[in-house]
Structure 1
Amino acid sequence: MLIGFSVGNYKSFKETVTLSMVASSITEDDRELDENNVFEINHRLKLLKSAAIYGANASGKSNLVAAVNFMKWFVLNSSKETQVSEAIDIKAFRLSTETEKEPSFFEIVFLLEGKNFRYGFEINSEQVVAEWLFQSDEDSETMLFERDFDSFILDDFPEGQGISDKTRNNALFLSVVAQFNGKLSGKILLWFSKTLQLISGLQDRQYRKETLESFENDRHRHDIIEFIKKLDLGIADIQITNQPVFIISNNTALYGNSYGSLYPISESKPAVKTVHRKYDADGKQTAIEIFDIEKHESEGTNKLFALAGLLLDTLRTGKILFIDELDARLHPLITRELICLFNSNETNPHNAQLIFTTHDTNLLSSKTFRRDQIWFTEKDNKGATDLYSLVEYKVGKNASFEHDYIIGKYGAIPFVGNFKELLGELYA
């Protein structure tokens, strides 16, 4: 489970943003909302099942997701993908002379096998500046290891003994220990790899592979088809067939012409077909029609199919899913239903978590979210992103979250210039 994530520049607190999935102690009128949107870890800790992040274009929403994605990639690959003296692909904040040369800070707090861990690091393009791993219980926090450049403290991390000198200055110690079969470090890397998932709602077709793989399991195949059918897309069934892949050759010596010829290769490509019912003038079904999903179905339908396997697997296994631009190409009611799958004890019994960025203000409702589930990003006067929650505002009992956001009460909206003046100048 995800408890929180921080990114920025540690030495300049103003440049550090933190997303927390810890449920606040706010009082909600709708107790059913509390029951479905929050789950209890222990008597001191309750977590949220979902969080929505709003903000103007270029306010930093996607950068937050990108930061989590980079942290995941670096944890999983720094010990094997980078070479000695190879630069770390980190982008410093370039709009501040105070921080442009300072290291970037990443920290994540999560639950693994019922234990609370806090792991983080500071890096620049040349090296790992600092790294740390702490474990905590209800009463105290214990340092497992701490790193300051090439200096290590490993008092409570026996699996790391003798490995610090094998750690390059541009690689994470945790990743190296896992490479040497460290038990705890291996579990943490597995958590990053399997439990923490990040996807783009704009480039969704690349995730179709997960849905196609799910079709190999009869139960999962049934769940995906039922999921698609319940979204009122007019689809009665889905069929997957394997089609041969052809390549074009312009070898005139071989084929005797210069127009090119098609010939199959050994690989095959799965073809997704959707089944639609066909009716006569009286509304009686007379036959079925088979459509190619890529050629004949809408962009929204293709997105829902591509994400279906991942969404259902996340719910089935209690994973964490970040989605940038969840609502892109989706009807607001469908987006709301996807969120409600997570905000439900019935459809989310394993407490999977969904964190997403969106511009869909229809979702800003006290009937869908608690105030601590709604987050905003806004650029300050220096161009840095500020991330804050609606829980920081005093909101009236019957207030409309959507209306108040649109009129700018919570900030995080674009301030558009006067286009009439611009057009007047253009046509003068």
Structure 2
Amino acid sequence: MLVQFRFKNFKSFRDEAVLDLSAAKMTEFSERVVSIGGERLLRTAAIYGANASGKSNVYEALLYMSVYVMDSFNYGDERERFVQYRPIPFLFDSTSADEESLFEVYFMLPEDSREKMYHYGFCVNHDGVTEEWLNTKAKTARKYNPVFYRNEKEGEKDLDLSGLTKSGRENVRAALDSRTLIVSLGAKLKVEVCKMVRDWFLVNEFSNFGNPRVNARLSQRVPNGFIEDKAVQQRVVAYFASFDSSIKDFRVEKLPPDETVQGERYRIDALHKKFDCDDIAAIPLGWESAGTLKMFALYPELQSVLAHGSVFVIDELNARLHPLLVRNFLLLFLNPKINVHNAQLIFTTHDTWQLSNRLLRRDEIWFTEKDARGVSTLYSLADIADEDGARIRKDVSYEKNYLLGKYGAIPALRDMNVLEEV
């Protein structure tokens, strides 16, 4: 489970930002708090904010960290590829563009009986990795034990691999370069602890439904085994039945080869029952509504994260989905009888209907706000205090107060006089 994500100097976040999934000391929905490794953790975090306030940049920061961990061993000999994927720093001051960006996580591995905590992070600038560290802590321990530490900042050079095996130290030292992470290289070299960290990032899922191109690509994807296994198709039908009972089955037909298209092609029809007889109407899946296609696209990742107990990060979850359907999706993660492996959902949204004390804890609600300098900040409803220093009460209307501007993170609107007829 993700305990905490920290990042700095990434896009609109010039200063340090922390997304903390540790449960605060509060009484509401105490049954949904997960106790593991001496920590009290939450399964969900909802991020609200105005357009261009930085919500998507929280998503992109965690995505960037994950991609760099999985792919950085490919950047060593390819300067152009590294330049393409290096992080975008804060650009609206005179110094941040030349400074390093920081990414750091605290997490625990699913199904780890030892309940060990991992603390991993790195800093990277326009030349490569400037610092990287991995520490671990046993459930009953007070302090972290270092696995490795690396410092390649200007004028300094330090590489401590003492927590790796002898063969692991030798192999990593021989192949490491300035643009490659020790974790990525170590995983490729089959260093066990590096592989465990890399694999934690690997099983997490990301979906950006605010991007039309991503939406189009995701709608072309099908669940594993869907083409050939009728049982998988029936599970998808049952999944759809939770929000749209009109789809009764699917029909999959293999299409003739096409020289302009690589691989095999299939036609997928959704089968609907006609209302006035027992006949079936076959509708190409692509003709279904955008919301239905989105839920179809979500199914493979949803199935994976629930099975692995991993993290599902979604940008603009509410796009093209009814608020009740969004709530049903959220309740899936909050239900311990279904979410038995403690998968986590982190999502950005404008859907204030979910901003309710009947659905979310105060520490599950987060906001992003951008100031006049273009600097974004990230904070939780649990961190906000009133004029007397008292914490926001759990029995108030979160939605109403948010829209009234009491929590910040809303747009500053003006009349659109520019559209007035001359």
Note whether the superposition's TM-score is higher than 0.5: yes
Of stretches 200-209 and 314-323 in structure 1, the one that deviates more from structure 2 is: 200-209
Residue 378 in structure 1 maps to residue 378 in structure 2? no
The answer to whether residue 124 in structure 2 is matched with residue 123 in structure 1 is yes
- Aligned Cα root-mean-square deviation (Å): 2.2
SS in 2 for 1:240: strand
TM alignment of 1:48-87, pairs within 5 A: 48-83=42-77, 85-86=79-80, 87=82
Could you tell me which residue of structure 1 aligns to residue 254 of structure 2?
A: 242
Question: 2:272 is aligned with what amino acid?
Answer: H
Return the offset for 1:316. Answer: 2.7
Higher percent of residues as strand: 1
CA distances 1:366-418 after superposition (whole Å, capped 9, x unpaired): 11111110100011232111000010122234311111111111111111122
Query: 1:267 and 1:410, CA in 2 relative to 1: closer, same or farther beyond 3 A?
Result: same
Distance 1:406 1:177, change over 3 A: same
8 Å CA contact 1:365–1:401 kept in 2: the answer is yes
Letter in 2 for 1:278: K
Distance of 2:353 and 2:256 partners within structure 1? 44
| Structure 2 CA distance for aligned equivalents of residues 379 and 288 of structure 1 | 52
**Residue identity opposite 1:293 in structure 2:** L
Instruction: Work out whether residues 46 and 349 of structure 2, in 8 Å CA contact, stay in contact via their aligned partners in 1.
Output: yes
For the Cα contact (< 8 Å) 1:371–1:390, is it kept in 2? Answer: yes
1:292 matched to which residue of 2?
A: 284
Task: Confirm or deny: 8 A CA contact 1:50 1:342 kept in the other structure.
Answer: yes
State which drifts further: 218-227 or 16-25: 218-227
2:270 aligns to what?
274
| 2:33 is the counterpart of 1:38 | yes
Aligned CA distance change for structure 1 residues 377 and 245 (closer, same or farther; 3 Å): farther
Shift in alpha-carbon separation, 1:313–1:143, aligned structure 2, 3 A = same
Provide the TM-score with structure 1 as the length reference: 0.87
Amino acid at match of 1:26: M
Q: Confirm whether residue 107 of structure 1 aligns to residue 108 of structure 2.
A: no
Gaps of 5+ in 1: 249-264
Q: Which residue type is aligned with residue 223 of structure 2?
A: L
Looking at CA atoms only, which structure, 1 or 2, has the larger radius of gyration?
Answer: 1
Question: Which stretches in structure 2 are left out of the alignment for 5+ residues?
Answer: 385-390
Q: 1:336 to 1:323 in 2, by over 3 A?
A: same
Q: Using the alignment, how far apart are the partners of 1:218 and 1:235 within structure 2?
A: 15
Alignment of 1:54-203 (within 5 A): 54-83=48-77, 85-86=79-80, 87-88=82-83, 89-112=86-109, 113=112, 114-137=115-138, 138=140, 139-149=142-152, 150-158=157-165, 160-162=168-170, 163-194=172-203, 196-202=204-210, 203=214
CA contact (8 A) 1:319 1:352 kept: yes
Deviation at residue 105 of structure 1 after TM alignment:
0.4
Identity percentage of aligned residues = 34
Q: 1:314 aligns with which of 295, 300, 305?
A: 305
User: 1:279 corresponds to which letter in structure 2?
Assistant: F
Partner SS, residue 272 of structure 1: strand
For 1:117 and 1:384, the matched residues in 2 are separated by: 30
SS of corresponding position for 2:241: helix
* Deviation, structure 1 residue 308: 1.4
State the aligned residue count: 395
Tell me what 1:401 maps to.
398
Q: Distance in 2 between matches of 1:157 and 1:354?
A: 32
CA change 1:152–1:397 in 2 (3 A) is closer
| Residue 8 of structure 1 pairs with residue 35 of structure 2 | no
State the alpha-carbon separation in 1 of the partners of residues 200 and 339 from structure 2.
Answer: 19
- AA aligned opposite 1:286: D
SS in 1 for 2:278: strand
Alignment of 1:255-270 (within 5 A): 267-270=263-266
Deviation at residue 124 of structure 1 after TM alignment: 0.5
TM superposition outliers: structure 1 runs of 4+ over 6 Å: none
Of 302, 313, 330, the residue aligned with 1:339 is: 330
1:301-328 C-alpha deviation (Å, 9 max, x unpaired):
1111111122123223312110111111
In structure 1, distance between residues paired with 2:399 and 2:220:
36
SS at match of 2:407: coil
User: 1:245–1:384: structure 2 CA closer, same or farther, 3 Å change rule?
Assistant: farther
After alignment, is 359-368 or 141-150 more displaced?
Answer: 141-150
Is the CA contact 1:205–1:303 (under 8 Å) kept in the aligned structure 2?
A: no
Q: Deviations over 1:317-371 (max 9, x none)?
A: 3121101111110111001100000000122111111101100001011111111
1:228 aligns with 2:248: no
Change (3 A) 1:385 1:348: same
Identify the residue that residue 330 of structure 1 maps to in structure 2: 321
